[in-house]
Structure formats: C-alpha cells, structure tokens
Amino acid sequence: VVDSEPRASQSAGVLIDLSRREVLLDGDVLNLTYKEFELLNYLVENGARTVGRGELIGNLWSGAEDVPNERTIDVHIRRLRSKLGRLANTVRTVRGQGYRFYDHPEVVVWAAPEYSI
C-alpha cells in the first residue's frame, strides 16, 4: 500500500518513507545501512514478484568494484529482518528463487507525490 502522505498517527508498525530514505518501527527510526535500505526499497518496488539474488546483485551493486556473492545478500537480508523486529516476516525467502516483500496491515510505504515507484 503506497500512501500519498504520511500518517501523523502512524506510531505502531513500520513506516517506510522512500523520500526521506527512512524506516520507522513503532515510531523509532531504524538504523539501516545504505545497502539495507536499498535492498528493502527494491523489494518494496517489486513487491508483486519474487526477486532473485542475481537480480539484486545486478541492480544494487552495478558498477561496484567488489561485487558480492549470493550469500552476501543473505547476510544483508538477515540483518534487515532483525532490524524490522516483529515485522521481519514482511521480507520472506522464496526457497530456491529469492526474496519477496509481503504487504502487512502494519506496514505503510510512503512516497512523496513527486517520487514515483
């Protein structure tokens, strides 16, 4: 669900603010690394489908000197999930295929009107 404006009352659950590049869990800003945010953002943008590790590497590490192996993606996913706490199950593993973002009633994705996803 993509809202056109953030909810002032949004204190429970996860708010993913794409324009500010912030993720809040129950009102507290999560200390995500740059890559963790990029990973979450990519999964949210492609929420209707499963994203393979190779695609994640190709899109998030394109042009990087040190291209990670597929297990590095697993480590980033594990760290991201631990930071998402009780809503970690919104980022799910699809066995043998990759990862997928699943909507949850407590997860709100906010993008500024000029920001299109």
**Each residue's pLDDT tens digit, 78-98:** 999 999 999 999 999 999 999
How many domains does the chain contain in total?
1
Q: At what angle do helices 34-45 and 53-60 cross, to 10 degrees?
A: 120
Angle at 75 between CA 72 and CA 81, to 5 degrees: 145
pLDDT at 5: 47
pLDDT at 113: 64
pLDDT at 83: 95
Please check whether residue 80 is in contact with residue 87, taking contact to mean a CB–CB distance below 8 angstroms.
Answer: no
In a domain, 115, yes or no: no
117 by Cβ neighbours in 10 Å (0-12 / 13-18 / 19+) ranks as exposed
In a domain, 65, yes or no: yes
CATH code for the domain of 10: 1.10.10.10
pLDDT at 7: 45
In a domain, 74, yes or no: yes
Range of the domain at 66: 2-110
Beta strand ranges found along the chain (DSSP E): 2-3, 14-17, 22-25, 28-29, 91-94, 98-101, 107-110
**Each residue's pLDDT tens digit, 28-80:** 999 999 999 999 999 999 988 999 999 999 999 887 788 788 888 999 999 99
User: The whole model's pTM is what?
Assistant: 0.82
